[in-house]
Structure 1
Amino acid sequence: MKVTVVASTRISEDRWDDQGSAFPVQTSPEFDVLGDDPSRPVTDADELAEFAGRACYKSWSKPNPATAANSDYMRHILRQGHFSVLEHASVTFYVEGVSRALLLELERHRFLSFSVESQRYVDTEKHHPEPVLPPAIAAGSSAAGLVRDAYAFALNDYRILVQHLGGQGLKRKEAREAARAVLPNATPVDFLVTGNLRAWRDVLGKRWHEAADAEIRELAGLILGHLRALAPGAVQDVPRTPFAY
């Protein structure tokens, strides 16, 4: 499994407040939640969330010292549940080498946007010769051998069907769209997925959880790691270990 950040929101250099002054970029004097570096500059995603909140009340002067620092302001937002300000910043990930089963679960999160590798155009046998093993199955175990054997058998049927249907005059995409019927949940898939910070928090709340499917929990952990760098204030209340009942 590989998760790569390919895009994230950046604040325009010509941002202004209602007094004609640039909304200040600051370093956080107190951001020790979960071991974050207190000297790191506030990220664009966290700054944008604060900007959105202050724009609602025109509180540019930061009159309340308890929320003057971005980390404190974001902590207040999370405690109050004012998650709408988190919807302005988004992050796009390119996810590689996960199973179709994982994709089907992730697509239940309605506010994510997907661009998914096509099984009609992509030759599965060529690009994905090995299955995705569930985390519960060790790579060198006999159970792994069973999964690999079943996947190899499915790929062989897939190849036969593509050749047979192509011989009947179907185009390659038409042959593959029919032949993919024999491919299992373990078939790998790559996709692009975009979500705003509120949507990603929803994913983490449900998938960064001890009761979640093991593979998607692993994905959630990787996403959380990226979000800690891109928007530490927005995920400062998310634990380093999965949520538990």
Structure 2
Amino acid sequence: MEEIYGIQYTRPQVVLLQDTGIGVAETAARTCYDSFTNSENEVIKNLECNLPDESMCQELNSIEESALLDDLAWTYFHHSILEHANLSFLIRGTSRGVLQEHARHRIQAISVRSTRYTMSSIINAFVAAKITDNRAFFIENVLSFNMFVTADEAYNRLEISAMFDKLDFQYEKVEDFYSIAVAKSSLGFLDEFKNDTQALYGALQNGKKKRNVGDAFKHIITDNVKVDMVVTFNLRSLKNYFNLRDSGAAYFQIRWLAQEMMKVTPQKYLDLIVKKK
């Protein structure tokens, strides 16, 4: 947890899910130069006269060092061969603001927690709170979701209070608000528990969720909301990402993310893409 501009924030968590190794990248480079026999890696030398079998491929993917790749990356700046190595990261607890920054990195595969399908609990809390005009119920329940990268409870209460106001504004504008907020099969709960906020919330939570409920309510959340995602970079793109985002000029939240990603990136990749200090 760190304080930035007077507000406390939590850092994201990152796990490396998979990496394809550097052996394929060296194989690609040796193919360009027809120089298999010059490799210090015996399995690559054997590719001169042999198509690899399964055991050779496993050995290829376990290579830890490559002098050729190091020369191409740092002496000749021939970076296209780095595109043959890929790394996938699971990221938890970064922000929607960082997601916008990520979109500027063209060459990556990215899958993100969807607000279309994951806002039911927030809307259910509002519907339950609105039945008895219990604003505090909404704030306390949403606060328990731990849904913001900001860690100051007082600030997060302001965020949640603003969410309530936005939903309340929409409630007054939409003639049949509950039809867009609650699954058809759960509408009966509104009469059944009309005097019991907690019971109504529990029934809505346990009932069928409204499909795509976020379509009508995305406007209530801010860039401060946490998102989870899986991203896959090829090594050349990851080099670009680390160069730009592990920089004092970068937005501090994406700089934190780049730093956490770097921590879980094996050294054999960092040696090829990050300048030694």
Shift of 1:230: 5.7
Distance in 2 of aligned mates of 1:96 and 1:163: 32
In structure 2, the CA distance between the partners of 1:128 and 1:104, relative to structure 1 (3 Å rule), is farther
Q: Residue 75 of structure 1: which of 70, 73, 92 is its match? A: 70
How far 1:146 moved relative to its partner?
5.0
Q: Could you say if the C-alpha distance between residues 94 and 56 of structure 1 is closer, same or farther in structure 2, counting changes exceeding 3 Å?
A: same
Question: What is the CA distance between 1:83 and its match in structure 2?
Answer: 0.8
**Distance change (3 Å), C-alpha of 1:173 and 1:128:** farther
Q: Distance in 2 between matches of 1:230 and 1:155?
A: 46
Q: What is residue 17 of structure 1 aligned with on the other side?
A: none
What secondary structure is seen at the aligned counterpart in 1 of 2:227? Answer: strand
Q: Does the residue aligned with 2:265 lie in a helix, a strand or coil? A: helix
Shift of 1:163: 7.6
Please identify the structure whose Cα radius of gyration is greater: 2
Q: Give me the whole-angstrom Cα distance separating, in 2, the residues matched to 1:122 and 1:152.
A: 16
Aligned to 2:219: 181
Structure 1 residue 162: deviation in Å?
8.7
| Cross-structure match for 1:87 | 83
- Which residue of 29, 32, 47 maps to 2:23? 47
Evaluate the alpha carbon distance shift between residue 236 and residue 182 of structure 1 in structure 2; reply closer, same or farther with a 3 A threshold.
closer
What corresponds to 1:58 in structure 2?
A: 34
Query: Which letter maps to 2:149?
Result: V
What is the distance in 2 between the residues matched to 1:99 and 1:188? 4
Letter in 1 for 2:68: Y
| 2:148 aligned with 1:131 | yes
The residue correspondences of 1:194-209 to structure 2 (distance < 5 A) are 194-209=232-247
Show CA shifts across 1:113-162 (max 9, x none): 111111111026369444112xxxxx5xxxx3553122221343466579
> Counterparts of 1:201 and 1:105 in 2: how far apart (Å)?
16
Q: Which residue of the partner structure matches residue 4 of structure 1?
A: 15
Q: Note if contact 1:71-1:233 (Cα within 8 Å) is conserved in structure 2.
A: no
Secondary structure of 1:233's partner?
helix
CA contact (8 A) 1:228 1:235 kept: no
Where does the alignment leave 5 or more consecutive residues of structure 2 unmatched? Answer: 1-11, 46-63, 123-141, 184-209
Matches within 5 A, 1:163-174: 167-170=177-180, 172-174=210-212
Looking at secondary structure, tell me which structure has more helix per residue: 2
Contact 1:207–1:220 at 8 Å: present in 2 too?
Answer: yes
Runs of 5+ unmatched residues, structure 1: 10-44, 134-138, 240-245
CA distance in structure 2 between the aligned counterparts of 1:7 and 1:163, rounded to whole angstroms = 45
8 Å CA contact 1:131–1:148 kept in 2: the answer is: yes
Structure 1 partner of 2:269: 231
Q: Distance in 1 between matches of 2:89 and 2:168?
A: 35
Count of residues in Structure 1 that have an aligned counterpart in Structure 2: 192
Distance in 1, Cα, partners of 2:100 & 2:145 = 18
Q: Distance in 1 between matches of 2:233 and 2:146?
A: 30
TM-score of the two chains, using structure 1 as the length reference: 0.68
Give the direction of change, closer, same or farther, for the CA distance of 1:234–1:212 in structure 2 (3 Å limit): same
Alpha carbons of 1:71 and 1:174: their partners in 2 closer, same or farther (altered >3 Å)? closer
The letter of the residue matching 1:108 is R
Given residue 46 of structure 1, which amino acid in structure 2 is its aligned partner?
I
Identical-pair percentage: 26
Equivalent in 209, 221, 227 of residue 259 of structure 2: 221
Conserved? CA contact 2:16–2:90, under 8 Å: yes
Does the residue aligned with 1:102 lie in a helix, a strand or coil?
helix
